[in-house]
Structure 1
Amino acid sequence: MTPSEPPEGEPPGSRPPTSGPHWERPQQGPPQEPPPPGGWARPPAGPPPGKQRSRACFWGCVGALAFAVAIAVILVVVIVVVNNETDHPPADDVKVTACTVNSATQQATARVEIHNHSSKASTYAITVEFVAASGTRVSEGGTVSSTVAPGQTVRTEVGGVDRVTQKVTCKVTDVTRVAS
């Protein structure tokens, strides 16, 4: 028997030739996985891929939000501790030395003096309100004074943002001191 002849009992042409081009039959349908070995079962199918992704996204967003809140709380605590030295609160470092209304521009102006009582060079953010004799606030303004050394005194002005036609009093409403 030659390699191209079929064994006894098989009709001719039932085996593919051993030489020459080989032709394969196309598979019908999706590829089939081999069955699991005996005694083993396929693992149960998990949730659809979209649900796993939604849960991961949800927990990722919750984690990111918790992280952002924690950072914000830490920053607030640090700023409060830096700004509120018990011996010398920031408001004690600022006083109004003059309060006027410019007759030409009708802008209220407060002259303030900053004396840094803290032990570190600091930047001050100051807000002043301008109040009419009736007790009504008629304008407000703010200024920032950077790098005031410990023990140093700085004089600056705070201008109001509104036109004022009457005499006013000036009141410091907020002082923020941050170590620079």
Structure 2
Amino acid sequence: MPTTPPPPGWGPRPPEGPPPSGPSGPQVPGWAAPPPRPPKRTNTWLVVALVLGGLAVLAVVGIIVAIVVVERTVDNPPGDGPAADVEITACEVDGDTRWPRADLTVTNRSSKTSDYVISIEFVTASGTRVAEANASVDNLAPDQASQDRAQSLTQVEGPVSCNITDVARFAS
């Protein structure tokens, strides 16, 4: 059976050290110079790319924050925030159940479709808070109005007045 030569890198190792020199190059059969070392790699380009990418992300986040702040300022000028979108149209105590209720009209004065959460308090003539209630309106389009009711399940005696204590508006 014929023998085949071993694959490169297999077999006896070439001698180490500088090659014997002569006028025509190495004089020792099988001697090979070691391969040159690859150039040392630097990751400078990677560091620069990461720094520039981080700066780009920070710039985008800053722009988004600035847009949100400007938009909230436009949609909620001082004294004309979400509470200005809610009007109490009736405030009474049911004669049978003695539960106070506030009928509300909510008009979306913002530029986006919004959800509202409204808190109402019921106060006696002497200024005592006797009950609270909440109402919510979902997906109200800009300039659209909705009728809602804030109903308490706390029984009260006598007439009450209704006050809006909090209005939260969220873009839908």
Shared topology, TM-score over 0.5?
A: yes
Q: CA deviation at 1:160?
A: 1.5
TM-score where L is the length of structure 1: 0.53
Q: CA deviation at 1:111?
A: 0.3
Q: Does the Cα contact within 8 Å between 1:82 and 1:179 map onto a contact in 2?
A: no
Equivalent position to 1:135, from 111, 127, 130 = 127
The residue that corresponds to 1:5 in the other structure is none
Structure 1 unaligned regions, length at least 5? 1-73
The residue that corresponds to 2:24 in the other structure is none
Q: Distance in 2 between matches of 1:161 and 1:84?
A: 34
Structure 2 unaligned regions, length at least 5? 1-64
The residue that corresponds to 1:148 in the other structure is 140
The residue that corresponds to 1:41 in the other structure is none
Identity of aligned residues (%): 39
SS at match of 1:103: coil
Moved over 3 A (4+): 80-84
Q: Does the Cα contact within 8 Å between 1:119 and 1:150 map onto a contact in 2?
A: yes
TM-score where L is the length of structure 2: 0.56
Q: CA RMSD in A?
A: 2.4
Q: Does the Cα contact within 8 Å between 2:105 and 2:147 map onto a contact in 1?
A: yes
The residue that corresponds to 1:85 in the other structure is 76
- Once the two structures are superposed, what CA deviation does each residue of 1:94-118 show, in whole Å capped at 9, x if it has no partner? 0100001001111000001101000
Aligned partner letter, 2:90: A
The residue that corresponds to 1:67 in the other structure is none
The residue that corresponds to 1:35 in the other structure is none
Q: Distance in 2 between matches of 1:160 and 1:166?
A: 15
Tell me whether 1:99 sits opposite 2:91 in the alignment.
Answer: yes
Q: Between Structure 1 and Structure 2, how many residues are aligned?
A: 104
